[in-house]
Amino acid sequence: MTFEALTIFPEFFRGPFEHGVVARAHAAGVLEIRIHDLRNWTPDRHRTVDDRPFGGGEGMLLKPAPVFEAVESIWPQRQPGQRVVLLSAQGRMFDQAMARRWAALDGLLLICGRYEGVDERVAEHLADEEVSIGDYVLSGGELAAAVVIDAVARLLPGVLGNEASAVNESFSEMEAGRLDCPQYTRPAEFRGWTVPEVLLSGHHEEIRRWRAGAALEKTRRLRPDLISAGQEVGKHHE
């Protein structure tokens, strides 16, 4: 799979993918990441990518022309397996189901928003989807693009022992509406805090039941939204 990132800060992407799963996937030839400097598609001496909003208002917006020309030159003949995603604070929230859907693509082109936003014609007439990674304010789409690439890359067959995309085809616990159960490693007592006795017992059926209960309790306490979402009829069967 090929990831293309369109950005005014190409240097930003030097760091995040040099280590870990994405680096290993790249070394194994499972994915390719190409970073494109939006300013390469500006016609003027100052390489202008932004302009003031019509109707007035604070800040600057990304102009449409460099973004359209960049995407059309990166993918002159867009194929069905190639999707263009605009990362913006106004987008639909990125989630694990989206990551799974995108992991089946041949190419994902991520347009990183900047300034106060992007001319709406990019969202309306160029991008297939407009996506946010969460309800907090970032200074641009670059960190969001790195998050999306990490989440999608680790699902690709041949990464992290995803044999025959087995991991890919099963719903994650998150999608099933609950969190992982609490887990412990050695020592069995640390600073006076002990590991639940049942986990040391070797009784597999009791351990399984304890884990299910503890996962549900923790989900209720920290992520009650996951539980109510999981009860919507048909929610997880697209």
Q: Quote the distance between the C-alpha of residue 34 and its chain's center.
A: 17
Which residue's structure tokens are 């280590």? 19
Shortest Å, Cβ 41 to ligand 9D3: 19
For 182, half-sphere exposure in the C-beta direction (CA atoms, 13 angstrom radius) is 14
Does the footprint of ligand 9D3 cover residue 119 (CB under 6 A)?
Answer: no
The 130-169 site mask, x for binding ligand 9D3 (CB under 6 A), equals --xxx-xxxxxx--x-------------------------
Shortest Å, Cβ 123 to ligand 9D3: 12
Distance CA 185, CA 204 (A): 17
What single letter denotes the amino acid at residue 83? R
- Residues 86-105 touching ligand 9D3, rule: CB under 6 A, are 87-89
Closest CB to ligand 9D3 among 134 and 224? 134
Using the 8-state DSSP alphabet, how is residue 118 labeled?
A: B
Does the footprint of ligand 9D3 cover residue 177 (CB under 6 A)?
Answer: no
Closest CB to ligand 9D3 among 142 and 162? 142
Q: List helix spans (H) across 58-203.
A: 64-74, 96-102, 120-125, 142-153, 166-169, 197-201
Shortest Å, Cβ 106 to ligand 9D3: 23
Backbone angles phi, psi at 123, to 5 degrees: -65, -40
Closest CB to ligand 9D3 among 37 and 173? 37
Does the footprint of ligand 9D3 cover residue 117 (CB under 6 A)?
Answer: yes
Cis amide prior to 16 (ω within 30 degrees): no
In contact, 1 and 105? CB cutoff 8 Å: yes
Shortest Å, Cβ 21 to ligand 9D3: 21
Residues that bind ligand 9D3 (CB under 6 A): 87-89, 113, 116-117, 132-134, 136-141, 144
